[in-house]
Amino acid sequence: MDYFLIGFFITIVFIILGLRMDQEYERGVIFRLGRFLTVKGPGLYWIIPFIDSKQQVDIRTNTVDIESQETVTKDSVTIKVNAVMYYKVTHPEKAIISVYNYRNASYQAALTVLRNVIGQHQLDEVLRDRDKINQSIKEMVDQITRSWGLSIELVEMKDVELPENMQRAMAKEAEAVREKRARIIKAEAEFEASQKLSEAAQEIAHNPMALELRRMQMITEVGAEQNTTTIILMPSEFMAMAQAIAEKLNK
């Protein structure tokens, strides 16, 4: 009976020692005598104690901050760029077996690709086509890390720091562009005003009564402002008569 209890107790201890549990976002990579066996989890499962070993892998989306790096653009401008990368472990066994430290390896890959891609673009392209460059970096890093069981979900440049002299030059350029735009708008407004005045003059030439109505409106406006000055406008018929007499005298 004592041997039975001892055996039962040893069995219970043996079972307890082999119990493992992973959360919903975790997976267990099982090795038996040093060789890869399977991937288990989530939930409760059992492995052979002292023969099987487990390495736990988090399969949630991970965030990696790529610290600010000095890099040179294609047009020889030194800038500082920092970024953030989001990746996810899709094959836990590859993440453990294929690379020593997949977190550090993915960070180094993203850092190298970021500097290489920035070096292939001019400064204006880096500032203007940021989404396109982010997509290019993502695809290149994903191609590298795919064999490690990782999937790159997003790479985003957070900040591009320019030298002070470049900031001043860009500020002057922006000011010049705004001044140019203001002058163009003013010139277009003057051109439209001249067109309207020309159309008004043609209309008055064809219809003299329009000029008389305009004169009456001007008198009304002057009176409404309570001015002490009185303006007497000569009718347009007198002007036409004087012009006809002048033309006959010239002939």
Task: Place 220 in a pLDDT band, splitting at 50, 70 and 90.
Answer: low
Domain span at residue 182 reads 168-250
Return the structure tokens found at 159.
């900040």
Residues 37 and 93 in one domain: no
**Residue 78: CATH number of its domain:** 3.30.479.30
Q: Give residue 75's pLDDT.
A: 84
Q: Check whether 212 has a pLDDT greater than 90.
A: no
Q: Check whether 231 has a pLDDT greater than 60.
A: no
Residues 133 and 98 in one domain: yes
Q: Give residue 22's pLDDT.
A: 93
Per DSSP, the three-state class of 47 is: coil
Residues 158 and 67 in one domain: yes
Residues 143 and 67 in one domain: yes
Residues 37 and 95 in one domain: no
- Tracing tokens 């997509």 back to the chain, one arrives at 135
Residues 156 and 80 in one domain: yes
59, 92 in Cβ contact below 8 A? yes
Q: Give residue 1's pLDDT.
A: 56
Residues 102 and 24 in one domain: no
231, 222 in Cβ contact below 8 A? yes
Give the length of the chain. Answer: 251
- Indicate left, alpha or beta for 128 from its phi (over 0: left) and psi (-120 to 50: alpha): alpha
Residues 82 and 106 in one domain: yes
Domain boundary among the residues 162, 177, 196 is at 162
Q: Give residue 147's pLDDT.
A: 93
* Overall average pLDDT of the 140-148 stretch: 94
H or E segment to which residue 30 belongs: strand 26-32
* Residue-wise pLDDT tens digits, 1-18: 577 788 788 889 889 999
Q: Which residue has the higher pLDDT, 247 or 55?
A: 55
Domain boundary among the residues 162, 194, 228 is at 162
Q: Check whether 79 has a pLDDT greater than 80.
A: yes
Mean of all residue pLDDT scores within the chain: 83
Q: What is the DSSP letter of 48?
A: -
Domain boundary among the residues 115, 140, 162 is at 162
Q: Give residue 208's pLDDT.
A: 63
Residues 154 and 241 in one domain: no
* Residue-wise pLDDT tens digits, 158-200: 888 887 776 566 666 766 777 788 888 888 888 887 787 777 6
Residues 196 and 209 in one domain: yes
Q: Give residue 178's pLDDT.
A: 75
Residues 69 and 157 in one domain: yes
Q: What is the DSSP letter of 14?
A: H
Residues 87 and 41 in one domain: no
* Residue-wise pLDDT tens digits, 29-46: 999 999 999 999 899 999
- Tracing tokens 């735009």 back to the chain, one arrives at 181
Number of domains in the chain: 3
* Residue-wise pLDDT tens digits, 48-76: 999 999 999 999 999 999 888 888 888 88
Per DSSP, the three-state class of 246 is: helix
* Residue-wise pLDDT tens digits, 99-137: 999 999 999 999 999 999 998 998 888 888 889 999 999
